[in-house]
Amino acid sequence: MEEDKNFGSEHRLWCLLVKLLCVKSRFRDKPSAASYSIFFNKRQIIHIFASVLLITYLTAQINYMWFKLNLYYREFSATMKSPWVLVIFGCEVLYLIAGLISAMDHLVPPAMEESNSSLKALLNHVRNSKNCESTLDSSAAKNYPMVDVMVTCCKEPTEIPHETILAALALNYPKNRFRVLVLDDGGDDDLKAICEAIRVESGTGQLVYLRRNKVPGVPHHFKCGNINFGLQHSSAEFIVIVDADMILHPSFLDRTLPHIVSSSQVAFVQVPQSYYNLPRGDPLNEASPYYYEKVMLHRNAVGCATSVGTGAVFRRKHLNEIDGFQPQTITEDTMTSFVLFNRGYKSVYINEKLQIGLAPWTFASFLKQRQRWGQGAMQQFAATWRIMLSRRSKLNIVKKFCFFWHTGYYYMSLINVILVVTIWSALAFQLNLFVGSADENRTLMSYMAFYFIAWRLFSYLIWTEVPQSIQSRNRDESTFWWMTPFFFQMILCFTFNYKSTFNFVPTNSTHPCSIDQKEKKHSLMKKFNELKYVWAHLMLIVIGLSTVAIRSFAAIRSYGFFDCKEGMVVLGLSTFISTLCVHMSVPVVHILWPTRFKSEQRKNLLRYNGMGVPVFDPTDVAPKWHPSVLLLEIVSLVNIAFWLFIFWVVNTNVFDNYCAMRSN
């Protein structure tokens, strides 16, 4: 009887824990419902239409490139007289390859969202309980898996990890089944005292403060070494990694643990990063909505959504198999993810805003963060590409593309620089861009216009599922261009000075007091000082717009308003350069007219419960709208209008008649 009682208690517990979220088996038992649900699922419908547009624009691009290749081959001697057209063609080939690789993220269907009425009831039951232990007896609580929440700290202002610790201790989970390990890599005695005070007040050993001894001259591997040090002091079955500035939602373990408990093949569960101090309009695209709302969802369908370094639950057994987190790169999160994938394990991504933290307060710290991510990706590729891309690798073709593109994306900046310099030179020095007959060039322009129109329509459609789609879409496209100089610089530094890539500066290591002292400087002088980071952008804007103005004036003066051939060339090149200048102005405007919050406003951006624990609403973490994005939307519409005009021009006789009239 006692054995039956214990079995019944354990059975009820695992029903609560595992069936809470992991109802995949139920869907498998009802294939008819799963198969027909695709016709009533908005996400799947949009995915189908987006896939059709994606294939259409890629086909159009390939058709355009193939026609251009044949044209240059037939007119080889004329092509060699204008070698810059080959440079542009080479850039287009690389853009095509990049498009084909990134298409993998779009063509993989997103994972179907699971729903069930009993699931909702269980979630409400858990979320409404103020104390998880109040609903369970001690024998039932012991059946919950042991979890260690590791808070990685390194010289952040003490109040920031303090709030993170309080939020971690307030998780809805049996208090005797999880610990919070504070991994202090910055030697903060104030933080140590706070942890000791909390431990004494609670009267339990739930909170543990750890500080490792760093021997001079011995590599300590930054955050990776800090986490591995924590693993030496942990025996829990599951490990949660949290950055010092990331506040967990009370339901974090409720929502994540069942996914990893349900399958022994799941190595970790990841949730997106959200921020509570984003500037209005998110001008720097720090929220990365496309990555979290689209890319990660599609990769989740094949189990290869990578860890982002915080808000992740890892299976300790799998970490032990690979000797913990991987120190070969300063971005240990993605490196560890792919090493786990290469052992045949998978990940689960939950698109729920269950953590919220701090974005970099300053433009300089933002740049250091993004360049550090890029350097880490390059280190990762250099250290593991032979293993990950070999025939013996356990990565399937999709995961291999994801591994390659994780680093390859940053090298797009090299292509951008070459293309921009070539097109600017063509406009400034009146370089000939036409090879072949007039009819052949009409056909070429028709193919090119159709390709760009299809690409724009595809872009508009896939962004409809992202919150604040207009703002998010324009910020993402703009970031691709204005981050080019910074990634270009980062690649040069990595290539010619490898050791410097291991310099690590915590994102929020600057104390608010020091920031406040800097704020006291004359604001105008401070802004001019920050402009040193965007000197390349300012130079391109001045040179680019000057070239557009001078070339347009010269064309009108020499040939009259809109002489056919000359006018179309100037119009096309000027549209590209002007659009580029608008994108390059984004960081400049952000520096001169910032919309970001000040550091002393941090606490006002959070809400606290009666116990002083920071809380947040997961449904209200998206960046706030700012009307400045309308300029980018106008530029986007002007571009599609231009290509519609080009398509009309080369496929009708109306413009030809106008040209003939002008020539007479």
pLDDT in tens, 116-156: 443 344 444 444 444 444 455 566 667 899 999 999 999 99
For residue 606, is pLDDT > 60? yes
Task: Kindly report the average pLDDT of the chain as a whole number.
Answer: 87
Q: Which two tokens stand for residue 19?
A: 């069936």
Q: Are 257 and 19 in contact, with CB atoms under 8 Å apart?
A: no
For residue 504, is pLDDT > 60? no
Convert the pLDDT of each residue in 38-53 to its tens digit.
455 777 888 899 999 9
For residue 386, is pLDDT > 70? yes
Choice between 336 and 105, residue whose per-residue pLDDT is larger: 336
Convert the pLDDT of each residue in 318-341 to its tens digit.
999 999 999 999 999 999 999 999
Secondary structure string (H, E, C) spanning 26-48: HHHHCHHHHHHHHHHCHHHHHHH
Q: Is 366 exposed, middle or buried (0-12, 13-18, 19+ CB in 10 A)?
A: buried
Average pLDDT for 272-295:
96
498 vs 78: CA distance, rounded Å: 43
Average pLDDT for 460-480:
95
Lowest-pLDDT choice from 104-113, 304-313, 448-457, 558-567 = 558-567
The two beta strands, 147-153 and 178-184, are parallel
Tell me the pTM: 0.87
> What percent of the chain is predicted at pLDDT more than 70?
83
Q: Which two tokens stand for residue 282?
A: 């998110």
Query: Angle CA(201)–CA(235)–CA(351) in degrees, nearest 5?
Result: 85
φ/ψ of residue 240, rounded to 5 = -105, 130
Q: Are 573 and 533 in contact, with CB atoms under 8 Å apart?
A: no
Q: Say whether domain 140-393 belongs to CATH 3.90.550.10.
A: yes
404 vs 408: CA distance, rounded Å: 6
For residue 35, is pLDDT > 90? no
Residue 447's pLDDT is 97
Lowest-pLDDT choice from 3-7, 383-387, 530-534, 617-621 = 3-7
The two counts, helices (H) then strands (E), for the chain are 28, 11
Convert the pLDDT of each residue in 351-377 to its tens digit.
999 999 999 999 999 999 999 999 999
φ/ψ of residue 133, rounded to 5 = -70, -20
Name the residue ranges covered by the structural domains of the chain.
140-393
Average pLDDT for 562-588:
89
Residue 653's pLDDT is 75
Q: Are 371 and 320 in contact, with CB atoms under 8 Å apart?
A: no
Lowest-pLDDT choice from 251-255, 419-423, 649-653 = 649-653
Q: Are 279 and 591 in contact, with CB atoms under 8 Å apart?
A: no
> What percent of the chain is predicted at pLDDT more than 90?
72
